[in-house]
Amino acid sequence: MRHGPSQKSDMHHLVETQQFTRESLKELFVLADALEGKREESLKGKILASLFYEPSTRTRLSFESAMLRLGGEVITMENGRESSSQSKGETLEDSIKVINRYADIIVMRHAEVGSAARAAVVSDVPIINAGDGNMGQHPTQALLDLYTIQRELGREDDIHVAFVGNLKYYRSPRSLAYLLSKYKNIRITFISSPELRMADDVKAHLKENGVPFTETEDMVAGIRDADVVYQTRIAKEWIKNDVEYEKQRGRYIITRAVADSMKEGAIIIHPLPRVGEIEAEVDASPHAVYFRQVGYGLIVRMAILKTILGNG
């Protein structure tokens, strides 16, 4: 696997956030800035295969919109567990070898951790990991999360990030934590129940890179001096026990009063969808940026496509 985008792309597959350097992130985000509000023909003649074995709204549609805004074309498959030849017993590797014949780049979401890496091994065309398993990674979500932080706060160093809620079964905060380790004077607070704590591999990475973090069950205290509050969905599809799900779902709710307790200039982000963990009244708060975050995601994914396909 090649690593790190540059103006002449040397990145082939995008599987995990560890591929990026601070410099390559800067280049990607400068390109995203330049693409805001733009439509062009730089990827005319290129075809993106949107291959989703799990449900998605924002990731799938933003990648498809990004490709169309760059002049490319899209072929798509949703609900792949039922609609693809996987339901007939075809291996992921064989599916990828086939789709190689149809497209110039593949964006893939899959239920199994490591599936994107497996696809990359056998694919001649670039693979973009759009989420692999509940404890895998979602690198493009992390990239747009980091871009949102930089756009909203105006800086990338000296930031305190509080991750709230479902930290064990959520690939997006895992991916962002890896990215944050590339910056200076980052502090992290993990706020969760004992059952949903951040996994040890991420904490080990932070320790290795000198990023201080604390763990607490107290949300109000944990977010008091945070610059970024990263709220997450408890995710019923990953917590199969109904009693446990209901217990966890009501534990960390951002109300308007909670939002008003945050320090001036702090922001609330969320990968969405939300299912009650941020109350609707919070939307009018100056701290709420999660719907602007969706728009940032579009231009970041445009920049990713241009970079990987050699037009960055």
Is the backbone peptide bond immediately before 273 cis, with ω within 30 degrees of 0? yes
Which residue is catalytic, options 13, 46, 60, 109?
Answer: 109
Reduced to 3 states (helix: H, G, I; strand: E, B; else coil), residue 236 is: coil
| pLDDT tens-place string over residues 187-234 | 999 999 888 899 999 999 999 999 999 999 999 999 999 999 999 987
Check residue 103 and give left, alpha or beta (phi > 0: left; psi -120 to 50: alpha): beta
pLDDT band at 169 (very low <50, low <70, confident <90, very high): confident
The pLDDT value recorded for residue 56 is: 87
Name the phi and psi angles at 107, rounded to 5. -105, 120
Which residue is catalytic, options 17, 59, 140, 189?
Answer: 59
Kindly report which listed range (44-48, 66-70, 241-245) carries the lowest average pLDDT score.
241-245
Average pLDDT, the chain: 89
Q: What is the CATH number of domain 139-294?
A: 3.40.50.1370
The pLDDT value recorded for residue 157 is: 97
> Please, which residues bridge with residue 106 across strands?
49, 127
Active site includes 58?
yes
Active site includes 13?
no
DSSP 8-state assignment for residue 196:
G
Helices then strands, each counted (H, E), the chain: 12, 9
Active site includes 247?
no
17-137+297-308: CATH homologous superfamily?
Aspartate/ornithine carbamoyltransferase (3.40.50.1370)
Mean pLDDT of 52-56: 88
Which residue is catalytic, options 58, 97, 187, 203?
Answer: 58
Active site includes 88?
yes
Active site includes 39?
no
Name the phi and psi angles at 177, rounded to 5. -60, -40
On whether the CB atoms of residues 277 and 165 are closer than 8 A, the answer is: yes
Which residue is catalytic, options 13, 110, 138, 287?
Answer: 138
pLDDT at 82 over 80: no
Question: First vs last Cα of the chain: how many Å apart?
Answer: 19
110: Cα separation from own chain's centroid: 14
For the chain, what are the domain ranges? 17-137+297-308, 139-294
Give the span between the Cα atoms of 86 and 68, in whole angstroms.
28
Mean pLDDT of 248-258: 88
* C-alpha atoms less than 13 angstroms from C-alpha of 268 in its C-beta half-sphere: 28
Give the span between the Cα atoms of 258 and 44, in whole angstroms.
47
Domains 17-137+297-308 and 139-294 share a fold: yes
On whether the CB atoms of residues 69 and 39 are closer than 8 A, the answer is: yes
Give the span between the Cα atoms of 254 and 270, in whole angstroms.
11
Helical (H) or strand (E) element with 172:
helix 171-180
Place of tokens 């086939």: 98
Name the phi and psi angles at 226, rounded to 5. -75, 145
pLDDT at 8 over 50: no
Kindly report which listed range (15-24, 63-72, 86-95, 190-199) carries the lowest average pLDDT score.
86-95
30: Cα separation from own chain's centroid: 19
